[in-house]
Amino acid sequence: VAPFVMTKRECAQPNNRTECEGNNKYEGYCIDLLKLLADRIEGFNFEVYLGEKTGSKLPDGSWDGMMGDLLTGRADVAVASLTINQERERVVDFSKPFMTTGISIMIKKPDKQEFSVFSFMQPLSTEIWMSISGRIASSAWWFFTMIIVSSYTANLAAFLTLEKMQAPIESVEDLAKQTKIKYGIQGGGSTASFFKYSSVQIYQRMWRYMESQVPSVFVSSYAEGIERVRSHKGRYAFLLEATANEYENTRKPCDTMKVGANLNSIGYGVATPFGSDWKDHINLAILALQERGELKKLENKWWYDRGQCDQGITVDGSSASLNLSKVAGIFYILMGGMIASMIAALGEFLYRSRIEARKANSNSLIGNFAKNLKSALSSQLRLSIQGGAVAQPGTQSHEALKRQQAASFLPASNSDEKSDNTAGLDRGSVSFAYNTAV
Confidence check: pLDDT of 154 > 70: yes
- What mean pLDDT is reported for the chain? 78
CA angle 426/432/437 to nearest 5° reads: 145
Q: What CA–CA distance (Å, rounded) separates 168 from 6? A: 33
Query: What are the backbone angles phi and psi of residue 403, rounded to the nearest 5°?
Result: -65, -40
Q: Which helix (H) or strand (E) holds 158?
A: helix 141-160
Number of domains the chain contains: 4
pLDDT band with cut points at 50, 70 and 90 for residue 139: very low
Same domain, 171 and 150: no
pLDDT, residue 428, reads 40
Lowest-pLDDT choice from 206-215, 257-266, 328-337: 328-337
Whether 255 and 272 map to the same domain: the answer is no
Are both 272 and 288 inside the same structural domain? yes
Specify if 432 maps to a domain.
Answer: no
Q: Which of these, 301, 293, 192, 194, lies nearest to 247 by C-alpha position?
A: 301
Q: Which residue has the higher pLDDT, 417 or 247?
A: 247
Residues 176 and 234 in one domain: yes
Q: From 222, 180, 185, select the one nearest 203 (Cα to Cα).
A: 185
**pLDDT greater than 60 at residue 359:** yes
What pTM value is reported for the model?
Answer: 0.61
Mark whether 131 and 185 lie in a shared domain: no
Distance CA 25, CA 29 (A): 14
Examine residue 314 and state whether it is found in any structural domain, yes or no.
no
How many Å is the Cα radius of gyration of the chain? 40
Residue 41 belongs to domain with CATH number: 3.40.190.10
Provide the pLDDT for residue 240.
95
Would 312 be classed as within a structural domain? no
Please choose, from the candidates 335, 434, 348, 349, the residue with its C-alpha nearest in 3D space to the C-alpha of residue 392. Answer: 434
Please check whether residues 172 and 97 belong to one and the same domain.
no
Give a yes or no: residue 366 inside a domain: yes
The pLDDT of residue 174: 92
What's residue 314's pLDDT? Answer: 45
Q: Are residues 208 and 253 in the same domain?
A: yes
Domain interval for residue 82? 6-101+267-305
Asked whether residue 129 carries a pLDDT value surpassing 80, the answer given is no
Decide if 430 is inside a domain: no
The per-residue pLDDT for range 1-32, each reduced to its tens digit, is 789 999 988 888 777 677 788 888 999 999 99
Of 433, 438, 436, 437, nearest to 391 (Cα)? 433
Per-residue pLDDT tens digits for 294-347: 999 999 999 989 888 876 444 444 445 556 666 677 777 778 878 888 888 778
Q: Are residues 403 and 338 in the same domain?
A: yes
- Torsion angles phi and psi, residue 151, rounded to 5: -65, -45
Whether residue 225 contacts residue 238, with contact meaning beta carbons closer than 8 Å, is answered with: yes
Sheet holding 182-184, edge to edge: 182-184, 236-241, 103-108, 256-259
Minimum mean pLDDT range among 308-317, 361-370, 386-395: 386-395
Burial label, 49 (beta-carbon count in 10 A; 0-12, 13-18, 19+): exposed
Q: Is residue 221 part of a domain?
A: yes
Which residue positions form the known binding site?
A: 83, 88, 190-191, 241
In a domain, 213, yes or no: yes
DSSP 63: B
Give the whole-angstrom CA distance, residue 76 versus residue 56: 18
- pLDDT tens for each residue of 46-98: 999 888 888 888 999 999 999 999 999 999 999 999 999 989 999 999 999 99
How much is the pLDDT for 335? 84
Mean pLDDT value across residues 105-134 = 68
Q: What pLDDT is attached to residue 412?
A: 42
Same domain, 152 and 177: no
Based on the domain organization, do 344 and 417 belong to the same domain? yes
Could you tell me which residues are beta bridge partners of residue 93? 272
Q: Are residues 139 and 190 in the same domain?
A: no
Q: What is the pLDDT of residues 223-247, one digit of tens each?
A: 999 999 999 988 999 999 999 999 9
DSSP secondary structure, 257-322, as one string = EEES--SS-EEE--EEETT-THHHHHHHHHHHHHHHTHHHHHHHIIIIIT--S-TT--SS-EE---
The annotation places the binding site for L-glutamate at 83, 88, 190-191, 241
pLDDT band, residue 369 (cuts 50/70/90): low
Separation of alpha carbons 166 and 315, rounded Å: 7
- 177 and 158 in a common domain: no
Contact 168, 181 (CB under 8 A): yes
- The residues with which 271 forms a beta bridge, in sequence order, are 78, 94
Whether residue 310 lies inside any domain: the answer is no
Q: What is the pLDDT of residues 155-197, one digit of tens each?
A: 767 666 655 556 788 899 999 999 899 999 998 888 999 999 9
